[in-house]
Amino acid sequence: MALSRRSFIAGLALVAAGGAAGGYAWTRRGAGPAQAAGALYTCGMHSHLRLPKPGNCPICNMTLVKVGAAPMTMGPAGDGVHVAPEAQRSMGLETAVVASGPLARTIHAYASIALDDSAVVEVNPTVEGWLRSMQARGVGDRIRRGQVLYEIYSPELQQRQREYIDLLVRKDALLSTDGGMGGATNAMAGSLAKERFRNRARLIAAGMDEELVEELERGRRIIEVVPVRALRDGVVTAIGARAGGYVTPMQQILAYADNRRLWAELTLFPDQLAWLRDGDRVRLRSTIERGAVAEARLDLSTVQIDPGSRTARVRVAVSGHGAAFAPGAFADATIETRSQHGLSIPREALIRTGAGDYVLRAAPDNHFERVAIETGIESDEAIAVVSGLKAGERVAVRAQFLLDGALALQANARPDPSMLPMSLDDPDICRTPPSVPAAPATPAAPASHAGHGHQHGGSMP
């Protein structure tokens, strides 16, 4: 029992001595570098260590460097980091000036070509009946103005024609009688003329064109199958009925649109909207014919935000470019925005984090400090600065992440202030760490029992 305890205590002493030789040690508050004898070495990642000889860091196994030759040192929190000029050159550290001037950007996006909604004509019958024929065979068929779209057989429309013919007959009979009735005849003729005008308008509203109405007036015979003609040129965009079907005014027969009036719908990101102004020039290049180019002007009243994709859609009018900008095609869009004046820094100088945006500003005497800034619009090469910097200041644009890592170590991995750099001259350098309590002293065994006990070699109590 006594031998085992003594062996355990001796082992602790050896561990403490080995720790002192390898660099693991604790120092008293108040001990500092001035107490060290000769040159000291430290670790670039754990600068609180001070070791008496070169080697590797006992924490991360990096090669130690001499304290007097350290190219990068850190001062108190908030003072930044100092980088010697030779270290700046070896790191490739570069700085740029915070500029004040115009900031412009060319926005690149894609656009989809679609028909102008205002140019779409939806064709519904105004009377009930049966479709005898359909001239449009499918979506995409071209329609010419005056072309027959469909033919309808409608008893309701035939009744309207019959009433109109009766008015014409009564008017002719009244005008052919003797004029002895005088004023009464004139009053009846005026009433028939008004009724004839209303019935004629009803026929035209039902789909009969002027030529058919004139034919009805001349022949005084009902037209059983009435053709309905197109009002303008266009392309069929939808078909809702087929020949032989029964249709009502609530049913759409077909729809067509003028394909010379088109929309180019641009898809943008919300941060790009800050650059846009009414009247900005938009240049569209067709993906069907690469040489076909169209130009338009931006109208911000057409902006719509898609809540699902969080993108913005902007429409510009495109017309008269043929198949290169056919409905459903895509185009490459370029928006030339107007320049805006203000402070700006290179894009590579900005460090974005979840806590905000900041840069590493160059201070006198080769110091660099972290500065939080508020950014504005962004171009392809620069970012506008709203606050945090002044014109003429310099910021790091290369190797800034090395400096930021040093600052992060300074802020988050600083040693306990009660533990200062160690020195081999410290008389307590090999003291037992406070986390390991000292073993209590064990009284020596009586001599009379030394040779009578049973011993088990190497056993612990």
Query: Mean pLDDT across the stretch 153-170?
Result: 91
Q: What is the mean pLDDT of the chain?
A: 76
- List beta partners, residue 297: 281
Q: Cβ neighbours of residue 345 under 8 Å, at least 6 residues apart?
A: 96, 98, 99, 359, 382, 383, 385, 389, 395
pLDDT at position 33 over 90: no
Q: What is the CA radius of gyration of the chain?
A: 47
Calculate the CA 408 to chain-centre distance. Answer: 30
CA distances, 380 to each of 254, 273, 280, 282, 398 (Å) = 48, 15, 18, 18, 18
Query: Mean pLDDT across the stretch 18-22?
Result: 36
Query: Mean pLDDT across the stretch 16-32?
Result: 34
| Distance in angstroms (rounded) separating the CA atoms of residues 58 and 304 | 61
pLDDT for the residue numbered 323: 77
The class level of CATH for 91-100+342-412 reads: mainly beta
pLDDT at position 154 over 90: yes
Span 334-355, pLDDT tens digits: 988 877 888 988 988 888 888 8
Amino acid identity, residue 214?
E
Q: Cβ neighbours of residue 312 under 8 Å, at least 6 residues apart?
A: 267, 268, 269, 270, 272, 273, 303, 304, 305, 306
310: left (phi over 0), alpha (psi -120 to 50) or beta: left
Residue 344, judged by CB atoms within 10 A of its CB (0-12, 13-18, 19+), counts as: buried
CA distances, 236 to each of 118, 143, 179, 240, 262 (Å) = 15, 7, 56, 11, 15
pLDDT at position 420 over 80: no
Give me the residue label for tokens 């990101």.
Answer: 269
Helix (H, G, I), strand (E, B) or coil at 83: strand
422 or 310, greater pLDDT: 310
pLDDT for the residue numbered 247: 94
CB 113 within 8 A of CB 329: yes
pLDDT for the residue numbered 411: 57
Angle at 343 between CA 337 and CA 348, to 5 degrees: 85
Span 234-261, pLDDT tens digits: 889 899 999 999 999 999 999 998 877 8
Helix (H, G, I), strand (E, B) or coil at 27: coil
- Confidence bin at 412 (pLDDT 50/70/90): low
**Length, in residues, of the chain:** 461
pLDDT for the residue numbered 12: 37
Q: What are the domain boundaries of the chain?
A: 1-25+432-461, 27-74+419-429, 91-100+342-412, 107-116+259-338, 125-252
| Distance in angstroms (rounded) separating the CA atoms of residues 365 and 170 | 111
Quote the pTM value: 0.48
Query: Mean pLDDT across the stretch 105-113?
Result: 87
| Distance in angstroms (rounded) separating the CA atoms of residues 408 and 410 | 5
Residue 40, judged by CB atoms within 10 A of its CB (0-12, 13-18, 19+), counts as: buried
pLDDT for the residue numbered 45: 80
pLDDT for the residue numbered 44: 76
- For domain 107-116+259-338, is the CATH number 2.40.30.170? yes
| DSSP labels, 97-112 | E-EEEEE--EEEEEEE
